[in-house]
Structure 1
Amino acid sequence: MSYNIPEYLKGLSETEVEASRKEFGLNQLEALHKDTWVDILINILKEPMLILLMCVSLIYVIVGDYAEAIFMFAAIVAVTAISFYQDNRSKNALEELEKLNEPLSKVIRNSKIIEIPTHEIVVGDLCITEEGKFINADGKIVYSNDFSVNESSLTGESYSVFKDDDSEDNLVYSGTITVSGSAVFKVEKIGKETRVGKIGKSIIDIKEEISPLQLQIRRFVKGMAIIGLGIFLAVCIFSFIKTGNFVESLLNGLTLAMSVIPEEIPVAFTTFMTIGAWKLMQKGIIIKRSSIVETLGSVTVICTDKTGTITENMMHLKHLYDYKSGKTYDEKEFGAGELNELITYAMWSSEPVPFDPMEITLHETYEQTQSNDVRKDYHLFHEYPLEGKPPMMTHLFENSEKSRIIAAKGAPEVILAVSNLSEAEKDRVRKEITKFGEQGYRVLGVAKSHFEGYNFPEKQQDFVFEFLGLTVFYDPPKKEIQKVFQQIYDAGIKVKVITGDNADTTKAIALQSGIQNNAKAVAGSEIIENSDEEIAQIARNTTLFTRMFPDTKLKIVNALKKQNEVVAMLGDGVNDGPALKAAHIGVAMGSKGTEIAKSAAALVITDDNLEKLVVGIAAGRRIYSNIKKAVQYIISIHIPIILTVSLPLFLGWAFPQIFTPIHVIFLEIVMGPTCSIVYENEPMEKNTMKRPPRIMSETFLNWRELTISIIQGLVITLGILFIYQFSVQNGGNEEKTRAMVFSTLIFANILLSLVNRSFYYSVFESFKNRNVLLAFISISVIVLLFVILYIKPVSVFFKVTSLNANELGWALLTAAVSVLWFELYKLIKRISGKK
């Protein structure tokens, strides 16, 4: 966009910028504390699993088992390294997201207009603000054009205030919003020295809201930790009563406690959300809070603005309807002399420095068709901003000879209402408006007036207007938009259009875009006076909402939320802000969207491509599904570990200490990467976007899913206990039995991670979804198992002995039977058609 900014405004040089930054600092509130690698490390070492490992290591040192102590210290390093890698990866992803979420500000430096991150604004900078933008520093206006600002964030007053460099109050403040026009202001205060900085430091202490899924997972982990503590005490007491050996009893209890605590789950959740948001960022979808990624997959209804969201926001001037001649002209005929008045007044009714695509087009049409350009001869001396329902706007210009131009434009119905036409004449125009609307055109009415003196009417509608004609714009639907909406419908998601345009145009564009609609359009005026119950029914049954305003958009979004819909609101304009903020997920357009819309939204699509929203929803569904798989895997594999550690002790079997802390921690090291790295990388299952969205209020793991995981774990336990007794009955000593049990559990773990890739499709079908990490970790674990079994010093340390091919075959067969039975369950599920 070009700016008509005076040449004398040159801005700071690079040297002056550096000097100012050294003296006054950066444009931000108190520096937020960001976790360093030391902070991450300390937080990791506070984890229950690491504390248990340290206790076990200390006990081994005290009793003189230095080899075991060294292994435990090595395990501490390994577990810490895995956690550090995950946490650091998440931290880096979050920092990348923060950089993209920071708004850019336009400044003049070295006589050039450039965009910089807002925190880089310095005292003395010349900042440019324009319609729909936040002001990001305190300063004094040095140049303005039809500039008004909303200062409600500071004053509580919602009306707009017009300001310029000559007005008594020529100051602007950080956190306020430019409502109209543009201004250049010289920055006087930044960061915590601004007015909003002084009264709003508490903002930095606001914590991110915890999602329902996070709460459910925290409760689950906390519950397991309490159970672990109870089992630890029970085992310690039982073992001490039986053996009288306190150290051995303590080790038994700690071994079991380690097997119970599912510390992988919170790590997996953080990893899934943060890396998921980071991956979306790489695709041009900026997520402001990583926790909303899983909410994306739950969206049940999408409320979308029309202009700029469904359409290209190109606003091509297609036709002009001249009232005096009663004729419609297409774009090739705009040079006709009889159109001069209509074109001229359409331009004068626009902003002198246009921002809106329609107004830009009108100025361009004026330049192309008028031989005598008199725009520099006139100045705007009075204005009625865009207001009313439907809206209109009126501009009053005057030249040095006091010759006046009074021009108005707006929704054609309101321009007709204030014009001096008979009802029959208005009906003739209404037919034209309907004809244009049915073709998907955007129509504006244009009128002129005459007024002497300066005692202007309080309301613009009180002028006596002469109707001049209609400007007819075509804003075509975006390419591939039909395909996008079909994908949305296939995913079981409803679509509702909420727009300020009229019903005829909206219906036509909706039809061209592939939006399914069998109900009549409802206008904002039909909603505003209704009760909450009536609005709820309208919101449920209506697809197209027309002539909507911020308050009515907000009412529709809130009505849908009350009906337990998970609402995604799409918009790009200032008037979309409240609804974007209120929706579960506000989605703003990053390219053509206003800063207010982007600030209110939780998600920004950088290139305005609506297909990216489908990508985001698919990612949300994939991530939620994979978190569930990871948690179900953790539950299923923890059960046999817990029972294998505890049952031989409680039942008085031959080898009550079949697993020691060494074996359990090895299994924990194997399981951590499997659930948090492998499952995070798991591709989306086919037909994921052909299923209806999950119910947001449902428990993360319902009883049926939990029961399945418990049964999986119990069946694996039966297999482990079978191999235990099989070894004992065939004369196996403790080392041989431990080797058989340990190998069976390792094989079962690998097979379980493969089987649980899908709870519906077969394991062979899942192989089609390539997951290189899964193959890598599975092969690595098998190699490590063979090292433990067949490398003498290692096998001695793990207190196992090597297995022959027959024994290894029994371990593998038992693991396969214990795990692969679930494939029969899935087959029955597929045959019955249940998902």
Structure 2
Amino acid sequence: MKYNIPDYLKGLSDNEVDFSKKQYGLNKLETVRKNGVLDMLIDILKEPMLILLFAISIIYVIVGDYGEALFMFVAIIAVSAISFYQDNRSKKALEALEKLNEPLSTVIRNSTVEEIPTHEIVVGDLCITEEGKVVNADGEIIHSNDFSVNEASLTGESYSVFKSVGSDDNKVYSGTIAVSGLAVFKVEKIGKETRIGQIGTSINEIKTETSPLQIQIRKFVKAMAVIGFLIFLLVCLVNYVRTQNLVESLLSGLTLAMSVLPEEIPVAFTTFMALGAWKLMRDGIIIKRSSIVETLGSTTVICTDKTGTITENTMQLKYLYDYSSDKTFNESHFNDETLSTLIDYAMWSSEPVPFDPMEQTLHRVYEETQQRDERILWQLFHEYPLEGKPPMMTHLFENGHKERIVAAKGAPEAIIQVSVLSEKEKEKVRQIIRNFGEQGFRVLGVAKSHFEGDNFPEKQQDFRFDFLGLVVFFDPPKRGIQEVFQHIYDAGIKVKVITGDNSDTTQSIAAQAGIVNTVDAIEGKAIMNYSEDQLLEEVEKKVLFTRMFPDAKLTVINALKKKGEVVAMLGDGVNDGPALKAAHIGVAMGSKGTEIAKAAASLVITNDDLDKLITAIAAGRRIYSNIKKAIQYIISIHIPIILTVSLPLFLGWIFPHIFTPVHVIFLELIMGPTCSLVYENEPMEKNTMQQSPRKMTETFLNWKELTISIVQGLFITAGVLFAYQWSVIQGGNEEKTRAMVFTTLIFANILLSFTNRSFYYSMFDSFKNRNILFPAISSLTLILLFAILYIPAVSVFFKVTNLGLTELSLAVLISAVSVLWFEAYKWMKRRKKN
């Protein structure tokens, strides 16, 4: 942003900044102490799996089996290390997001305007705040134009207050919101010394909400924990009745409890969401809450602004229409003397220190075309801010000779309405406006007035205006925007354009941008007059919503939500705040968006590129899909572990304790990284963005998906128990049988992780999705398995014996049959669809 700041505003020097920092400190409120390493470690040690491991370790120590006890303690360290690694990754990702979310503040230092992190503001700084910005320190206004501020965070009053250097209250306060105009203020208090700091309120506090997926997962894990506890009691009782051995019964029960508890699921969820948000941050997409990643994949409607989102927001002045001569001039003839008055008043009706792209352009054209720059000779002494439906604004200037300029500009309809024109003349101008609008131009009307005395009208519309002409801007659609909207439509997502511009301009730009169904447009004032039934019907049918104001935007968003749509709303202005907050996903633009928009939004696109929203939606779908894959994998592999531990005991087979806690914890150590590391890193499947959005009401696993996982688990169980019985029939002892069962289950686990990379495409297609962690974890698992089987000391500890080539081949064959049947199922599924 370029600011035309008066020369007398120098700001602090670097030495003065350093001195102020030492004397007054930094601009930080007291914050809640964040969890350190010790807190994270304590939280990890509270996990149910760790408690079970401690209990088993103590039992082994009591009975004098120190080797097993040592292994359990090593397992505790390993499980804790994995959990700590995951928690730390998530914590660092979220801290990086938090740091990026800190708003920047604009200050004048060394006579130069620069942006700094808000916490670096010091006492004595000259801060610039403007429309849509949050004031980040307490101070005194020393320069302003058309500046008003909402102080509801301090006073509770919702209306805005105009303030200037000469007003009775010329102070601004941290946490308040600039509603209009611009002000430069000298910082007097920072951090906890500010008014908002003293009452202990932080405007940046964000309440973390529990997402629907989190709730479902918690319920699932709690249910499994209850089932695990009941089975633990049952196994202990059955075993004790048969053996009268309390220690052995406790160990059997605890082994089964460990196999039932799916503690990998909440770890996987946290990891997926935090790392998903962190990866999006690297792509220039800032997620305020990591759980919003879950909602992204469900988006059914994108409501987008036009200016700066669909268009470049360059606001090139292409034409000037002079009413007095009834001529239109293109940019190569702006020097024509006929245009002098129109250009003059277009500039005077803009802010003296412009921050809007159109006003900056008008100031530039004034500099380039007028023979004499008179801006320094005139002072703004009274103003009417941008308001009305449609809006307009009026400025009153005065020079040293008490001569006055009264200049107004705004929506052409508003300027025509207040100008002294006959109905015939008005219709003539309206036709010119329509012609420009149909070509995609943005048009503003300009007018002048004359007023003596100081008894100004209460409303600017009460002045008697002379119509001067039109300023015509062209804001072309962004390059490649057609492809962006095609991607949105391909993903089954609808598009609505919600803009303050007029219908003709919006229809033209929308058509050029590749948006479909742009024939009809509806205006904000019409929306507010509809009955509820009419409103729901119109928001479903219409694509273009024009001349929209805050209440109308909010009405459209709420109506779409009522229709069952999952709404992403893109906005950048103060007026977009309510709609951004109401939408399921509020999306603010990073470079041109106001801080109010960013604060209300749940997602910020740093470079204002709409295509990034598609990237975010794709990431949301990928992450949700991968979470489901991980959870289905966990369910499928837990079933054979649970049944292999319990069935030999309940059925009275020859080796009832085929798995001990050592074997179960080894399997848990494999499963943890597989689901939370490997599946998290899985790329998006090629058909993901050609599918319709999933419904928000869907549970994370529907009955069909849950049934598939259970069937997969039962097939693997059948294979493992077949290996058990085959070994027994062949005369194998307990160690040989355990080795066959354990090896079959490990191979089945590896194959399951590969085949479940996709529930539609074949395993071989999935190999094209490069994920180095799959072969890495699988190779490590096989190395550990062969160490257990063929290194004598390790074999003794795991109570297994080595397997011959025939036995090893049979274990591979059994695991392949028990898992790869699913490839045939997927093939039939693809064939049926095609």
Distance 1:777 1:578 in 2: 48
Deviations 1:353-398 (A, max 9, x none): 1111111111111111110111111111111111100001111111
Give SS of 2:759's match. coil
The code of the aligned residue for 2:560 comes to L
In the other structure, the counterpart of 1:135 is: 135
In the other structure, the counterpart of 2:81 is: 81
1:150 and 1:177 in contact (8 A); partners too: yes
1:32 and 1:204 in contact (8 A); partners too: no
In the other structure, the counterpart of 1:413 is: 413
Structure 1 residue 574 and structure 2 residue 574: aligned? yes
Give the 5 Å matches for 1:377-388: 377-388=377-388
Give the 5 Å matches for 1:389-404: 389-404=389-404
Distance 1:355 1:7 in 2: 18
Inter-CA distance 588–336: structure 2 relative to 1 (3 Å threshold): same
Distance 1:148 1:45 in 2: 53
Structure 1 residue 688 and structure 2 residue 691: aligned? no
Give SS of 1:731's match. coil
Distance 1:203 1:109 in 2: 26
TM superposition shift of 1:110 = 3.8
1:418 and 1:461 in contact (8 A); partners too: yes
2:507 and 2:518 in contact (8 A); partners too: no
1:29 and 1:192 in contact (8 A); partners too: yes
Give the aligned length. 834
Distance 2:701 2:450 in 1: 70
Deviates more, 1:660-669 or 1:141-150: 141-150
Distance 1:590 1:675 in 2: 34
Distance 1:438 1:5 in 2: 38
In the other structure, the counterpart of 2:39 is: 39
Mark the runs of 5 or more structure 1 residues left unpaired by the alignment.
none
In the other structure, the counterpart of 2:56 is: 56
Distance 2:434 2:232 in 1: 77
Deviations 1:278-327 (A, max 9, x none): 00000111111111011111100000010111111110001111111111
Distance 1:731 1:134 in 2: 79
TM superposition shift of 1:728 = 0.3
1:519 and 1:542 in contact (8 A); partners too: no
In the other structure, the counterpart of 1:598 is: 598
Give the 5 Å matches for 1:317-328: 317-328=317-328
Give SS of 1:616's match. helix
In the other structure, the counterpart of 2:755 is: 755
TM superposition shift of 1:741 = 0.1
Give the 5 Å matches for 1:320-399: 320-399=320-399
TM superposition shift of 1:197 = 2.6
2:11 and 2:111 in contact (8 A); partners too: yes
Structure 1 residue 209 and structure 2 residue 212: aligned? no
Distance 2:491 2:2 in 1: 42
Deviates more, 1:547-556 or 1:185-194: 185-194
The normalised TM-score by structure 1 is: 0.98
Give the 5 Å matches for 1:570-719: 570-719=570-719
In the other structure, the counterpart of 1:534 is: 534
Deviations 1:121-172 (A, max 9, x none): 2333222212221101111122223322222332333333222222210110
Distance 2:202 2:483 in 1: 46
In the other structure, the counterpart of 1:439 is: 439
Give SS of 2:609's match. coil
Give SS of 2:680's match. helix
In the other structure, the counterpart of 1:184 is: 184
The code of the aligned residue for 1:585 comes to I
The code of the aligned residue for 1:172 comes to V
Structure 1 residue 98 and structure 2 residue 70: aligned? no
Inter-CA distance 25–453: structure 2 relative to 1 (3 Å threshold): same
The code of the aligned residue for 1:78 comes to A
Structure 1 residue 517 and structure 2 residue 517: aligned? yes
State the percentage of identical aligned residues. Answer: 73
Mark the runs of 5 or more structure 2 residues left unpaired by the alignment.
none
Structure 1 residue 506 and structure 2 residue 536: aligned? no
Distance 1:19 1:230 in 2: 67
2:232 and 2:254 in contact (8 A); partners too: yes
Distance 2:231 2:243 in 1: 18
Give SS of 1:258's match. helix
Give the 5 Å matches for 1:752-831: 752-831=752-831
Give SS of 2:793's match. helix
Deviations 1:658-698 (A, max 9, x none): 00000000000000000000000000001100000000111
Deviations 1:252-292 (A, max 9, x none): 00000000000000110000000000000001111111110
1:151 and 1:160 in contact (8 A); partners too: yes
Give SS of 1:188's match. strand
Inter-CA distance 382–615: structure 2 relative to 1 (3 Å threshold): same
Distance 1:795 1:315 in 2: 75
TM superposition shift of 1:7 = 4.2
Inter-CA distance 666–514: structure 2 relative to 1 (3 Å threshold): same
2:605 and 2:612 in contact (8 A); partners too: yes
Distance 1:647 1:371 in 2: 97
1:482 and 1:514 in contact (8 A); partners too: yes
TM superposition shift of 1:206 = 6.2
1:418 and 1:464 in contact (8 A); partners too: yes
RMSD of Structure 2 on Structure 1 (CA):
1.4
1:627 and 1:679 in contact (8 A); partners too: yes
The normalised TM-score by structure 2 is: 0.98
Distance 1:97 1:59 in 2: 44
1:519 and 1:541 in contact (8 A); partners too: no
The code of the aligned residue for 1:694 comes to R
2:29 and 2:202 in contact (8 A); partners too: no
